[in-house]
Structure 1
Amino acid sequence: MKLTRLRTTVVLTAAVSLGLAGCAQSDRESTSSGTTGSGSSGTAAAEGGSDTFTFGAAGAPEVFDPYYASDGETFRITRQIFQGLLGIKPGTADAQPELAESWEPSDDGLTWTFKLRQGVKFTDGEAFNAAAVCYNFERMFEQNEVAQAGPAEYWAYTMLGFKGGETESLYKSCEAKDDATAVITLNRYTSDFPVMLTLESFSMQSPKALKDGDANNVQKEGEGFKYPAYASAPVGTGPYKLEKYDEANKTITLVRNDDFWGEKAKTANIVFKIIPDESTRRQELEAGSINAYDLPNPADWKGLEDAGNQVLVRPAFNILYMGLNPEKNAKLQDVRVRKALYMALNRDQLVATQLPEGAKVATQFMPDTVAGYNTGLEATKYDVEGAKALLKEAGAEGMTLQFAYPSEVSRPYMPDPQKIWDALSADLEAIGVKVEAVTKPWNGGYLDGVDNGLFDAWLLGWTGDYNSANNFIGTFFGADSNDFHTWSTDFGKTLSKELDETNGIVDEGERTTAYEALNQKIMEDYLPGLPISHSPPALVVGKGVEGLTASPLTAEMFDTVTVSKS
């Protein structure tokens, strides 16, 4: 499975209009914790605050049905409307109960029994129960060919196959034992289950609304897709519901769900104002026309704070890496060459000069909060002379390396791609490597170039979808999603096999130990790519905003936010 679209910030492939005519049916002193003030109990309007929280969004939503979405700007909105069986503990990447109060696996890890929260209703008045859970899973499983090859991307990525498809799905069946008990059976074990259910794409949606809106009727239209009626009138169980998407004014308005089963949202309305340019978002924050926006330029953090705003720094749940393609450049098939390139990179200096405060040099391909992280691994030391000696030993002195970087993009793990490339390429040239520069726009050939193996080396990264070792190293090097072009190499085939075997270990302690050993093997024996760093991305909130907790998954909830009137 190629993850090109899952890496993008905003993906606008839908050819259908999502406009709605009306209501839808239905490490700093104040910022190091990534949390604003705790807010108050009760609603903001009742206490003299504003009844609206306005967020400056970088792009328009792809579609309002989270099952067919794959981009962060869409999920930022749908997260407020929908809930899943599992949620995410605020401020962490850890799973916690949401619509399921508890879950229990069978001894072989193939059958999972979910005890469901009772008294929950969808915003169209329909009851949430085990039958609704099973309807949702069967709906996700039974997709037409257009959806399977296109927007049902996260299901394909996690479950691997669909009903009647050539690839066997991880998902086998769902049974409603009673209203409060749903049993999901898998065809084979994976360590990603059930934590994958924290993904927005697995949100529970009203079966009645899905049926009435012909929700699975996705059609191809030009370069994009034509979505059914339901895609513009979604129905969930969350603290907010969709009121209107005003395409002319580029705003999406959510209103509080007053029948929400839990604590009611503290602010009556959320408005997402689409402002593609980051500098314009900053200007609108300073003018008070928005209350927050994501991914402020690290160079602006101090100025934003000095102006009285709060920069909420998220824990780093990402990795920046230099990919290597041994299928294109035969020199890279020698592990001594790969190790020499790694030794040449002055990553301490890079982190200190090019990345935001709190960034760290990586020792492996996952952050330290993921089970399976090997705490015994030390960062590869910067050693110019040692790198030269290894290249000579491998017969690769004076080798040429086509090294690519993206333009027209800033990523949480890579704020300024060209400056990072400049620093790393200078390091490589210092050991005698002849670097050939290649650059393409992020969505204008760069990601396609990576996927199609057009470059010897490239800069890319990953922000984890959920807290699982397989979501990192399995995504990079597994047989189903190998983005490092090592399929034809002996070490690549071996690594893919080892990853599959480790992911299939049911016992958690045994599996964690196996992942730790595998991380050591990846770094010391295989080194299929070069992990560079972990960077903490941030979001900024304006004066008077309280109650917002930053998420390492960028999965912030806004129902706890209050805004005081200026």
Structure 2
Amino acid sequence: MKRLLASFCALTATLTLAACGSGTPSGDAAGPPRPGGTLRYGLSLAPTCSDPAQSGTNQTLYVTRQIVDSLTDQDPKTGAITPWLAQSWEVSPDARTFTFHLRPGVTFSDGTALTATSVQKNFDAIVHTLTGAKAQLAASYLAGYTGTTVLDPLTAQVGFDRANAQFLQASSTPQLGILADATTAQPADRRCLGNDIGSGPFTYAGYRQGASATLAKRVGYNWGSTVFGHHGAAYLDRIEFTVIPESGVRTGSLSSGQLDAVSDALPQDAPQIEGSGGRLLVTPNPGVPFGIQPNLTRGPLGDPAVRAALLPAINRKELVDTVLGPQFKTATSSLASKTPEYVDLSKRLGYAPDTAKSLLDKAGWAPGSDGIRVKDGVRLSFGVLFSHAFAGNQAILELVQQQLRTVGVDLRLEPASDAEYAARQSRKDFDALYYNTTRADGDILRTVFGLDGQNFNVRGPIPDLDRTLSGELQTTDAAARSELIGQAQQQVLDNGLWIPTIELSQTIGASAAVSDLKFEASARLQFFDTWLHR
């Protein structure tokens, strides 16, 4: 098996502590932040689209988050929703109407003013123009959207045909960031070419699909989020993003001073990065952890007993210890542990291969001559479709493949390019998918597993789960909603809709010249406070 690392002896306590740090690399110069300079950043994958509304991958969002502001922000420490473009808001008791009072004086980078009509055109475009394109998350956040009413130039009232308790948090995401009319008027594909106009602290100065993106500081920017660490414009003059798929090349470029920061730094890269004066910055992702999502309409995965057996058949600790490292965690629920309303279900996800074998025996899946189980002439074999959006995906699945084989399950690996993965996912042409989804709100369960969400399980009604997911969306009482999200986590496992493996962590390598490179609430990078001292 190709492993990401052979041992962890090079990892030190410094690396572990970095996960809890403020995001400021060691070796900071004394004194206040210094404006100016160009930060050179190495992405592990190419951005898929320059439009924040259509952004899906972390590498894409590292770029698009910088050019767009959102109505609200979310404090990464407390989870509280805080002002940004909207300086205040009201939510109706039934959570069907959200009234946002916009900050005066905000302009887009083309000089046009932010108004309530801007909000209206953005949300209308997501629902009516981008639906069916790459704005699946954004569209799910606007489920039941009936329109935005312009009460006055700086007051926008967003309406829904049902309660939508998750929408206030959704208004803090880059997918619902506010773009200028010149962008929202464009068709979906034209919004992916680097011409997007936002009100954010950076603007596009160059964009080459699949290769690079360059951002320039927005001079005069003065309406940052209350979560940001300073007022006024960003410190950096420019950010140059270059796509470098090979981890070793990224690390070498960082250590030699050709880059200032890189994505997806691997544990074996730590000695080289730290040896050159840099460090690793680590934060876990909230949302749905990495896992296998079965298509209930294809092959053996239609059998509930098979799905139930997969849960105890996977040794998640071995995945972390062998393939990843101490900055990663095993999945312990259908939500990642950093997500608000997370419930620890680790007792249900313990490694128990004998339990898995017993479940399969009772369901009539008997071992065949090659060790793979058979029932009614059908082998217990299924494929898992995955992309390389995270560098560890293949190595993790290769180890899962070995683990499942010991209980009589044949897992076939089906690696795919981003384009092929997206096409097959859209057609629901797969036995199972392997991926994760990031969001700092438990409503991500509805997006992933709800009948009105993506429904990659290709399932029919499951009354208990459907009532729970509908209930959390419509419940405005925080305690009651928390209880429902807790129930939903268990019901997802009860029905075998997700076979969790590991929690994703963002691991950034940063040189000693970089200060205050921070993560926002959904574990994406925020460059507004970042500065250089070289």
TM norm structure 1: 0.78
2-side partners of 1:453 and 1:149: how far apart? Answer: 14
Superposition pairs of residues 349-368 of structure 1, within 5 angstroms: 349-368=318-337
**Would the aligned equivalents of 1:31 and 1:310 in 2 still touch at CA under 8 Å?**
no
Q: CA deviation at 1:300?
A: 1.7
Superposition pairs of residues 6-405 of structure 1, within 5 angstroms: 28-33=16-21, 35-36=23-24, 44-45=34-35, 51-90=37-76, 95-143=81-129, 147-160=130-143, 170-207=144-181, 209-210=182-183, 215-218=184-187, 225=189, 227=190, 232-245=194-207, 250-261=212-223, 262-317=231-286, 318-330=288-300, 332-375=301-344, 378-398=347-367, 399=373, 400-405=379-384
2-side partners of 1:403 and 1:249: how far apart? Answer: 35
Superposition pairs of residues 488-499 of structure 1, within 5 angstroms: 492=462, 494-499=464-469
Q: CA deviation at 1:457?
A: 4.7
2-side partners of 1:69 and 1:310: how far apart? Answer: 28
Pair 1:57–1:63, CA change in 2 (3 A): same
Question: Which amino acid letter does the alignment assign opposite residue 205 of structure 2?
Answer: E
Q: CA deviation at 1:497?
A: 4.5
Q: CA deviation at 1:462?
A: 1.2
Of residues 457, 475, 484, the one that matches 1:484 is: 457
Q: Deviations over 1:213-246 (max 9, x none)?
A: xx52428xxxxx4x27x96443322222333447
SS at match of 1:480: coil
Pair 1:379–1:496, CA change in 2 (3 A): same
Of residues 506, 519, 528, the one that matches 1:550 is: 519
Q: CA deviation at 1:557?
A: 1.5
Which residue in 1 is equivalent to 2:9? Answer: none
Of residues 475, 483, 508, the one that matches 1:513 is: 483
Q: Cα RMSD between the aligned structures?
A: 3.2
1-side partners of 2:421 and 2:209: how far apart? Answer: 29
* Number of residue pairs aligned between Structure 1 and Structure 2: 500
Matched, 1:441 2:427: no
Pair 1:287–1:457, CA change in 2 (3 A): same
Q: Deviations over 1:126-170 (max 9, x none)?
A: 333334333433444553xxx44324544433335xxxxxxxxx2
Q: CA deviation at 1:179?
A: 4.0
**Would the aligned equivalents of 2:127 and 2:139 in 1 still touch at CA under 8 Å?**
no
Unaligned residue ranges in structure 2 (runs of 5+): 1-14, 224-230, 368-372, 374-378
**Would the aligned equivalents of 2:220 and 2:232 in 1 still touch at CA under 8 Å?**
no
Which residue in 1 is equivalent to 2:509? Answer: 540
SS at match of 2:150: strand
**Would the aligned equivalents of 1:322 and 1:529 in 2 still touch at CA under 8 Å?**
yes
Q: Deviations over 1:149-202 (max 9, x none)?
A: 324544433335xxxxxxxxx222223333443221112122321211222232
2-side partners of 1:547 and 1:93: how far apart? Answer: 20
Pair 1:322–1:127, CA change in 2 (3 A): closer
Unaligned residue ranges in structure 1 (runs of 5+): 1-26, 161-169, 220-224
SS at match of 1:537: strand
Question: Which amino acid letter does the alignment assign opposite residue 325 of structure 1?
Answer: N
Q: Decide which moves more: 550-559 or 304-313.
A: 550-559
Question: Which amino acid letter does the alignment assign opposite residue 239 of structure 1?
Answer: P
Pair 1:407–1:113, CA change in 2 (3 A): closer
TM norm structure 2: 0.82
SS at match of 1:150: coil
